[in-house]
Amino acid sequence: MDIKWIEELSLNNWPSLSTLLYDGWILRFADGYTKRANSINPLHYSTCDLNTKIEHCESLYSVHQLQPTFKITPFVQPLDLDHVLEQKGYSLVDLTSVQTLNLHHIIEPLLNSVIIEDQMSTEWIENYCRLNRVIDKHKDIMERMLSNIKTKKGFVSLYFEDQVIACGLGVIEREYIGLYDIVTDAHFRNRGFGEQMILNLLKWGRENGATHSYLAVVAHNEPALRLYSKLGYSEVYKYWYRVKNAVSC
């Protein structure tokens, strides 16, 4: 598969609330919840004057009280966009590793105290927001975003002693299951629970037609990088954001 597809899958499966297409660029808006859903994705051709185009994007995001944010991947158009934005004072933040895994290589999970639902439940939402400390303002936005996913979904929860201590989301499209928002209770980390939950989710993905998996992990998240490496994921490319008036990472 052309790895550029992974960007398309990510756009589809972590949807924004509103999208504008502008001369080959994809502008996403979701009331400020996550950079991924509130960024400019310059994936396709660009024919307009670049400076004029950037200024127009800045105006649109400012009107919606959002920091102008560009997602910079190896596929950006034009190719020198990252350099141009750097010269304009945009800071580089959230260097991220995109990784893939062939599901033929996954091992069977040892724990099966896992529930995977194909619809978002109130219980899943409450547990996810509790574990990931999502504020009330963003809870409604997240529910609306996840309701917009049009492909097969798996909302996973792992139970230990009758309480949910880990949860996340898997989305299947084009024989790939993408992992999103995998989170484990801080009091139960480094005990293998996250690994077991992911193995159950990948098994579910394979049973529902997925042959590969992909995910994105922030490059400084060492525990997550170690876990995904243990599971067999390997990096295929990196991306980062260029944000106006932000502190560099």
The pTM score is 0.93
CA 94 to chain centre: 12
What distance in Å separates the CA atoms of residue 231 and residue 214, rounded to the nearest whole number? 12
Total structural domains within the chain: 2
Does 121 share its domain with 89?
A: no
In a domain, 51, yes or no: yes
In this prediction, residue 234 carries a pLDDT of: 96
In this prediction, residue 248 carries a pLDDT of: 47
- For residue 203 the two structure tokens come to 């098994």
Does 117 share its domain with 199?
A: yes
Confidence of residue 153 (pLDDT cuts 50, 70, 90): very high
The answer to whether 39 and 69 have CB atoms below 8 angstroms apart is: yes
- For residue 121 the two structure tokens come to 């439940």
Residue 27's beta-bridge partner residues?
20, 40
Q: 46 or 61, which is more confident?
A: 61
Q: 106-131: per-residue pLDDT in tens?
A: 999 999 999 999 999 999 999 999 99
Q: 81-98: per-residue pLDDT in tens?
A: 999 999 999 999 999 999
- For residue 202 the two structure tokens come to 């990948």
Give me the mean pLDDT over the 150-171 stretch: 96
Q: 55 or 190, which is more confident?
A: 55
Confidence of residue 148 (pLDDT cuts 50, 70, 90): very high
What distance in Å separates the CA atoms of residue 31 and residue 137, rounded to the nearest whole number? 10
Give me the mean pLDDT over the 52-78 stretch: 96
The answer to whether 229 and 249 have CB atoms below 8 angstroms apart is: no
In this prediction, residue 249 carries a pLDDT of: 41
Does 131 share its domain with 35?
A: no
Does 13 share its domain with 79?
A: yes
Does 33 share its domain with 106?
A: no
In this prediction, residue 174 carries a pLDDT of: 95
Does 41 share its domain with 118?
A: no
Residue 78 scores a pLDDT above 90: yes
In a domain, 249, yes or no: no
What distance in Å separates the CA atoms of residue 196 and residue 198, rounded to the nearest whole number? 5
List, in sequence order, the alpha helices (H) in the chain.
Answer: 4-13, 50-63, 81-87, 122-132, 136-147, 193-207, 222-231
Q: 190-249: per-residue pLDDT in tens?
A: 899 999 999 999 999 999 999 999 999 999 999 999 999 999 999 999 999 999 976 544
Residue 228's beta-bridge partner residues?
none
In this prediction, residue 246 carries a pLDDT of: 66
In this prediction, residue 245 carries a pLDDT of: 78
Does 149 share its domain with 228?
A: yes
In this prediction, residue 1 carries a pLDDT of: 65
Query: Which residues span the domain enclosing 85?
Result: 4-99+239-243
